[in-house]
Structure formats: C-alpha cells, structure tokens
C-alpha cells in the first residue's frame, strides 16, 4: 500500500517544447520541484543549462512528445506549434498549449489535437518570467478546454503559477488573456475591449470575468476625476481656462458629472 501511495504522489513526468524566456522559467521551476522533465528547443544552445540541472534533452520534437504523456508547448506563435508537432504522434497525450494565441486559433488547435488522438487544454499566462515560481508575485494562468486534463494535472500546472479554469471552450483562456491585457492598456491609453466583443467570441456576462461585466467605459466613468490635482504654477495656462469662467472643483465628482458641469458652463 505504501508503494501505491508513493507512486500516486510522485512528481509527474512532462515534456516542454520551447525554451524562450518564459519556457526556460517554466522548465527551471518544474525541475526545482522534482518533476522529470524532457525539453526540446529549436535552438539547441538553450538546452545546456537545463541539461546540467537534470533535464533530458530530446533531439527532435517528436522524440520529446514520445517521452511523456503530459506535453506542454510554450512557443512563439500558433504556427510554431503546428510546425513543431507536425511529425509527432499525439495519440494518448495530454497537450497543454501555453503559447499566446487568439480564441479562434485556440479552438482550431483543440480540434486539430483531438483529431490526432490528444486531449487539449489551452492556457494564457498572466505573468512575466521573473514571476514564475514565485507565489508571492501573484502570477497565474487562465486554462480552458478539457476539464479532465485540468483536473488530472492541476498540481503539476500549479507549480509555476496559480491556476484558474475559465471554461470548457478552448478559446476562453485566450479570450480572458486578450481582454485583461486590453483592460490594462485602457488604464494607460484609453478605452479597452467592450463586452460586445466578448459576446461575439462566445462568452456571456455570467461566464466571463468580473471586469467584462462592467466594461471599460463604465469603469472609467466611475473613477474619481483628478483633474483638480495641484499642478506647478510655472506651467502655461490651459486652453479651457478662459476669461470669465471659474475652474470647476471636480475632485469628488465622477467623470460623467464633471463633463455635464463643463457642458453647462460652456453653454452660458
């Protein structure tokens, strides 16, 4: 009985294709956790450090896929994944694709993997390489696709970063990835992804993340306006500061009410 217990709790062997900045960080984390790891990279020079750390280096991607049931890809793009797996036998494999892609590409890749006898799970990494393997950094990965694959390998996938399963649709992880990055861009550069675009990708207000239910425009309207923050007196006068008008105190006003206030002043 003790032998069975040890076998069930022993680290899961896995294969990793792609040793870029993110792939190398993933590999180091799994090796540090004691997982038997087989790696492959298009440029063999990047495998030396991992080989010294205990990883097995495969000469081809097909050889690497044959070494483990769990296969993780972290390559440049969707085309690179297709090229790397073109000659590999995926029968009976659990394919976890952490390559950045669009929802449509993820769904196409899932169908392609299923046709070749593999179960598919897509992932969107919400972290940078230095955050991998550091729980305090707060990095996590969105996963979507086969729930069976996620449940079977959840502990292994949680070694580099926290896991968040977002649905059976293979495109949902990429959808959340794109939407969250768009929301981050909106905070700095302007409006982000609208909920309407989420619905065109097959998501709904109930199934999507909290930020998708509010929408970037509504979020911006609810933010406090900071236009009245003190500025250096040496700066030139602003064009909206015209003679006969008085600056509106909008520190405690919402963006929408501030706009209405300025509209009424211009109409006078």
Give the Cα-Cα-Cα angle 210, 136, 180 (nearest 5 degrees): 30
Is residue 217 classed exposed, middle or buried when 0-12, 13-18 and 19+ CB atoms within 10 A define those classes? middle
Cβ partners under 8 Å of residue 39, min gap 6: 15, 16, 17, 19, 27, 47, 50, 55, 56, 57, 58, 64
| Distance, CA of 125 to chain centre | 3
Q: What is the mean pLDDT of residues 124-153?
A: 96
Domain boundaries defined on the chain? 2-178, 224-268
pLDDT digits 0-9 by tens, 60-106: 999 999 999 999 999 999 999 999 999 999 999 999 999 999 999 99
Give the Cα-Cα-Cα angle 217, 222, 226 (nearest 5 degrees): 105
Q: 2-178: which CATH number, 2.60.120.10, 3.40.50.720, 2.30.30.60, 3.40.50.150?
A: 3.40.50.720
CA-CA distance, 124 to 170, in Å (whole number)? 11
Residue (of 150, 152, 158, 166) closest to 133 by Cα position: 158
pLDDT digits 0-9 by tens, 186-237: 655 544 455 555 566 665 555 554 444 444 444 445 544 444 444 444 555 5
Residue 113: pLDDT above 50? yes
Question: Cβ–Cβ contacts within 10 Å for residue 259, how many?
Answer: 14
pLDDT value of position 244: 47
Residue of 167 and 209 predicted with greater confidence: 167
HEC-encoded secondary structure of the chain: CHHHHHHHHCCCCEEEECCCHHHHHHHHHHHHCCCCEEEECCCHHHHHHHHHCCCEECCCHHHHHHHCCEEEECCCCHHHHHHHCCCCCCCCCEEEECCCCCHHHHHHHHHHHHHCCCEEEEEEEECCHHHCCCHHHCCEEEEEECHHHHHHCHHHHCCCCEEEECCCCCCHHHHHHHHHHHHHHHHHHCCCCCHHHHHHCCCCCCCCCHHHHHCHHHHHHHCECCCCCCCCCCCCCCCCCCCCCCCCCCCCCEHHHHHHHHHHHHHC
**What tokens appear for 154 in the block?**
């959840």
| Average pLDDT over the chain, rounded to an integer | 80
- What percentage of the chain has pLDDT greater than the value 70? 65
């Amino acid at each position: 009985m003790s032998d069975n217990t040890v076998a069930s709790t022993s680290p899961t062997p896995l294969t990793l294709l792609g040793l870029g900045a993110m792939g190398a960080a993933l590999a180091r984390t799994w090796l540090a956790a004691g997982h038997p790891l087989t790696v492959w990279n298009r440029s063999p020079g990047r495998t030396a450090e991992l080989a010294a750390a205990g990883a097995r280096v495969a000469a081809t991607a097909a050889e690497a896929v044959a070494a483990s049931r769990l296969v993780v890809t972290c390559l440049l793009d969707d085309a690179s994944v297709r090229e790397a797996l073109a000659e590999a036998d995926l029968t009976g494999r659990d394919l976890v694709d952490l390559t950045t892609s669009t929802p449509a590409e993820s769904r196409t890749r899932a169908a392609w993997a299923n046709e070749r006898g593999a179960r598919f799970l897509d992932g969107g990494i919400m972290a940078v390489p230095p955050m991998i393997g550091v729980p305090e950094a707060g990095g996590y990965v969105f996963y979507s696709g086969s729930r069976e694959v996620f449940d079977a390998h959840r502990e292994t996938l949680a070694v580099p970063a926290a896991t968040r399963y977002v649905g059976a649709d293979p495109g949902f992880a990429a959808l959340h990835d794109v939407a969250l990055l768009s929301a981050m861009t909106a905070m700095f550069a302007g409006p982000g992804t609208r909920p309407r675009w989420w619905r065109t990708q097959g998501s709904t207000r109930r199934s999507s993340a909290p930020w998708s239910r509010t929408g970037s425009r509504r979020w911006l309207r609810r933010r406090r306006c900071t236009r009245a923050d003190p500025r250096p007196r040496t700066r030139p006068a602003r064009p909206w500061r015209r003679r006969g008008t008085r600056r509106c105190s909008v520190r405690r006003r919402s963006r929408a009410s501030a706009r209405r206030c300025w509209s009424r002043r211009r109409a006078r």
